Amino acid sequence: MKVLKVPARTIAVFVLPCLLLYIGLVFVPILVSFYTGLLRWDGITDSTFIGLDNFRNMFVNDTVFWPAVRHTLLYAVASMLEIPVCLWMAILLSRYVRKGNTLVSIYFTPVILSVVIIGQLWKTIYNPASMGGMLNGVLIAFGLDSWTHSWLTEPKIAMYSLYFVSLWQYFGYHLLIQYTGVQNIPDEIYEAAKIDGAEGFKADRYITLPLIVSIFKVSIVLAFIGSLQAFELVVVMTGGGPAHATDVISTHMYNSSFLSLKYGYGSAIAAFLVILCLICTVIINTVFNRLEKKFS
C-alpha cells in the first residue's frame, strides 16, 4: 500500500491554525483562571495579589467547599451506575426486539429537552401532595403515606432527588451509545461462536463485553466528567439549598464569584475543578487501557 508523503510544512499550514485556535479558546482561559485565583478581586475594582491565600482558605476555612466536593463526586459516581444497566438493555434490545431503534429513540427524548424544562417538570412532580405533587400523591394513593417527603427541601433527601433526575435525563443518552456499540459487532462473530457452543450469556461474556470495552469507556468518561461540571439542574431545582445541602463545586464557584463578589476566590474553585477533572480522566483512562489490553 502506497503511503502519501506530505511535507511537514504542508501539515503545519493546515494544523497550526486549528491548534492555535484551540489553545486560545481552551488553555488560555484556564491559565487566566489559575492566575485570577491568586488575586483578591471582586471582578470590578483593582485586584491585589495574595498568592495562595484563596486556595488555603478554600481547603481550610470554607465550610461549604468540602461538602460541595463530596456532593459532586457522589453525583459523578451515581451517574455511572446506570451505564451497566444501559448496556444490559442495549443487549436485550439488540437481541430480542425487532424495532429496537424506535425504543432507543423514545428513551433518548429527555436528552433533547432543555434542562430548565426538566427541572421545572421534576419540581412539580416533587411538590407536596397539597400542591399537586404527583410523587407524593401516588404514594398516598397506595397507602404509603409514611414514604412521602418534601423531596427538595429536606437536607438528607434533596441531593438524592437530584441524582435521580440526572439519571433519568441521561439514561437514553448512554443507552444510545451502548446500543450503537452492540449493533456494530458483526453477526458473523456470534454465528461462529454459536457453532462452538457459545450463545446467550456465554456469548456476551466472551464476545460482547470484550468488544465493547472502548465504547463503555466513552460512556463512563462522559458521565463522570459531565457530572463533575453539573450546574444547570442544581440551579433550576434547588439553587444549592436547603442550607447548601445540594451545593456542588460549580454552584459554589458561581455563588462565590457573582453573588458574593469574590471573583478571585471563585477562580480558585474553578482551578480546583479543572485539576479534579484532569485527575479523574487520567485514572479512568488508565483503568480502561489496562482492561482493553487484557481483553485484546
Q: Domain of 99: which CATH number?
A: 1.10.3720.10
Q: Looking at the predicted structure, is the pLDDT value of residue 1 above 60?
A: no
- Check if the beta carbon of residue 231 is closer than 8 Å to that of residue 248: yes
Predicted TM-score (pTM) of the model is 0.86
| Full residue range of the structural domain in which residue 139 is found | 63-293
Mean pLDDT of 187-209: 83
pLDDT score for 4: 65
The verdict on residue 7 lying in a domain is: no
pLDDT score for 269: 95
DSSP state of 78: H
As separate numbers, helices (DSSP H) first and strands (DSSP E) second, the chain gives 15, 2
The verdict on residue 271 lying in a domain is: yes
pLDDT score for 176: 93
Task: Give the three-state DSSP class for 49.
Answer: strand
C-alpha 137 chain-centroid distance = 31
The verdict on residue 109 lying in a domain is: yes
DSSP state of 154: S
The verdict on residue 255 lying in a domain is: yes
The verdict on residue 167 lying in a domain is: yes
Domain count within the chain: 1
Mean pLDDT of 4-13: 79
pLDDT score for 209: 87
The verdict on residue 29 lying in a domain is: no
> How confident is residue 86, by pLDDT bands cut at 50, 70 and 90?
very high
The verdict on residue 46 lying in a domain is: no
The verdict on residue 212 lying in a domain is: yes
Portion of the chain with pLDDT greater than 70, in percent: 98
Residue owning grid cell 462565590: 256
- Check if the beta carbon of residue 66 is closer than 8 Å to that of residue 74: no
- Check if the beta carbon of residue 276 is closer than 8 Å to that of residue 228: yes
